[in-house]
């Protein structure tokens, strides 16, 4: 396998020689002591994935150099070598998004190799998701054929839509299958890019559909809400994975501003597909607070689409329990109390009460099994695990597919009491 390419800039020859000795076995190195020469080389070779530069140099400092690198290729992974005296400049470079990580001099060889290798793996993963996104967008054109493939005749008395011929019916079936495949690819791509092994968007979609069904929504509306749950994070494909790894509460204000734009980006991408325009509208208004206190349009209460109000509740609850909102995962009880506090401000209180009832009853949808995020105290005999239960060392205690018995529950509760920590359990 080819070694990943790494461009290194440092005005001290001794430092370059030391880095060469440490890194040459793991990376294809391009070493420079002159910033302008390094920039010229990168202009000719813009696909080099890794850049490492010293902070303090005579021609230009490391942050300025990396700013010029970003203009050429913003997708490469950027690193700084910094001394103690440069720490304030380094923090500024981190906050402005110019670097992924910094190494203090003298550096630790193992840390240096590990961070650079991890960054290269992240770079490859991001490239893969971008390629999948291109495939998805290419399929948009196929979806526009769905409407044109049907000739519909309205029978005013019976209010039925009839397909004109068997040939057209077969064409519609094929196109409907293409549409379903497109949705599945998109949803899986989101999981891949966000590096979410818990399949958050699939769970949000299933819970949103469950609420819609319980609200006696018609089948089309229920389906649109379900698809919106699957695809509401589409805009995150435009965000770097390093940002998506962070719990929302730990982000800087600059990072939160970048992150919060993903709803509008999702809308912009999906609204290009005529058949997804209603889905795009649902996603656009998810950030709207129930009391009308937030952008984009300060809608209030029922002015906000029903699907938007539903997904806002479900996604927040799931984020609180699985640790995407804050570093410490909340228990299901804590998460329920937290969303209750936000009723009437962020969330529709009627829908919230109804969702909390569904979480207690744990029903299945008319479309099949629904996965729930649980703690040991929420388990019931007969439930089936949909993911492994792991201990603090990430070793599996119970595996996916295990049917829960009472002795499982008793053992898990005993361990939780001993460790003063709740297990995160996925089951239906």
Quick check: 403 pLDDT over 90?
yes
The pLDDT value recorded for residue 190 is: 82
Quick: pLDDT tens for 128-149: 776 666 555 555 444 444 443 4
- Compute the distance between CA of residue 156 and CA of residue 327 in angstroms, rounded to an integer: 57
**SS3 at position 372:** strand
Alpha carbon distance, N-terminus to C-terminus of the chain: 42
User: What distances in angstroms separate CA 231 from CA 66, 228, 258, 275, 279, one per listed residue?
Assistant: 34, 5, 19, 14, 9
Domains of the chain, each with CATH number or no CATH: 5-122 (3.40.50.2300), 144-374 (1.10.3210.10), 375-428 (3.90.105)
> What CA–CA distance (Å, rounded) separates 225 from 232?
10
Tens digit of each residue's pLDDT (9 = 90 or more) over 33-60: 999 999 999 999 999 999 999 988 888 8
Q: Which band of pLDDT confidence, cut at 50, 70 and 90, is reported for residue 15?
A: very high
Q: What percent of the chain has pLDDT over 90?
A: 40
* Closest CA relative to residue 384, chosen from 360, 358, 402: 402
Partners of 347 in the β-ladder: 343
8 Å CB contact between 325 and 301: no
pLDDT (0 to 100) of residue 212: 93
Q: What is the Cα–Cα distance from 19 to 13, expressed in whole angstroms?
A: 10
Confidence of residue 225 (pLDDT cuts 50, 70, 90): very high
State how far the Cα of 207 lies from the Cα of 201, in Å rounded to an integer: 10
Q: Once rounded to an integer, what is the mean pLDDT over residues 15-42?
A: 94
The CA dihedral of 271, 272, 275, 277, to the nearest 10 degrees, is: 20
pTM of the model: 0.63
Answer with the residue of higher pLDDT: 118 or 169: 118
Which is nearest to 336 in space by CA: 355, 351, 323? 355
Residue where the block lists tokens 């470079």: 93
Helix (H, G, I), strand (E, B) or coil at 181: helix
Reply yes or no on whether the pLDDT at 336 is more than 90.
yes
| Predicted pLDDT at 296 | 64
């Amino acid at each position: 396998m080819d070694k990943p390419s790494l461009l290194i800039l440092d005005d001290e020859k001794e430092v370059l020689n030391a880095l060469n000795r440490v890194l040459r076995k793991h990376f294809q190195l391009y070493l420079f002591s002159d910033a302008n020469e390094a920039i010229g080389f990168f202009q000719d070779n813009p696909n080099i994935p890794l850049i490492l530069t010293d902070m303090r140099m005579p021609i230009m400092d490391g942050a300025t150099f990396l700013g010029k690198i970003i203009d050429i290729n913003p997708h490469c992974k950027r690193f700084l070598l910094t001394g103690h005296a440069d720490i304030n400049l380094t923090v500024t470079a981190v906050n402005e998004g110019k670097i992924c990580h910094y190494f203090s001099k003298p550096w630790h060889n193992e840390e240096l190799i590990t961070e650079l290798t991890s960054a290269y793996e992240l770079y490859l993963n991001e490239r893969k998701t971008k390629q999948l996104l291109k495939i998805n967008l290419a399929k948009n054109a196929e979806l526009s054929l769905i409407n044109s493939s049907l000739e519909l005749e309205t029978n005013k008395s019976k209010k039925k839509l009839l397909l004109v011929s068997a040939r057209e019916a077969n064409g519609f079936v094929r196109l409907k299958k293409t549409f379903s495949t497109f949705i599945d690819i998109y949803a899986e791509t989101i999981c891949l890019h966000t590096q979410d092994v818990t399949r958050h968007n699939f769970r949000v979609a299933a819970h949103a559909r469950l609420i819609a069904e319980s609200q006696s929504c018609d089948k089309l509306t229920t389906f649109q809400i379900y698809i919106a749950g699957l695809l509401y994070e589409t805009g995150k494909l435009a965000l770097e994975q390093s940002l998506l790894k962070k719990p929302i509460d730990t982000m800087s204000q600059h990072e939160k501003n970048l992150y919060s734009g993903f709803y509008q980006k999702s809308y912009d991408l999906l609204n290009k597909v005529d058949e997804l325009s209603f889905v795009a509208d649902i996603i656009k208004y998810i950030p709207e607070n129930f009391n009308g206190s937030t952008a984009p349009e300060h809608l209030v209460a029922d002015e906000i689409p029903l699907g938007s109000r539903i997904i806002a509740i479900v996604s927040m609850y799931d984020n609180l329990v699985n640790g995407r909102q804050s570093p410490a995962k909340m228990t299901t009880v804590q998460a329920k109390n937290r969303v209750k506090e936000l009723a009437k401000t962020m969330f529709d209180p009627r829908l919230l009460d109804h969702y909390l009832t569904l979480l207690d009853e744990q029903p299945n949808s008319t479309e099949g099994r629904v996965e729930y995020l649980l703690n040991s105290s929420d388990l019931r005999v007969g439930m089936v695990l949909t993911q492994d239960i792991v201990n603090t060392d990430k070793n599996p205690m119970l595996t996916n597919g295990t049917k829960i018995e009472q002795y499982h529950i008793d053992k898990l509760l005993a361990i939780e009491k001993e460790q003063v920590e709740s297990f995160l359990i996925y089951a239906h």
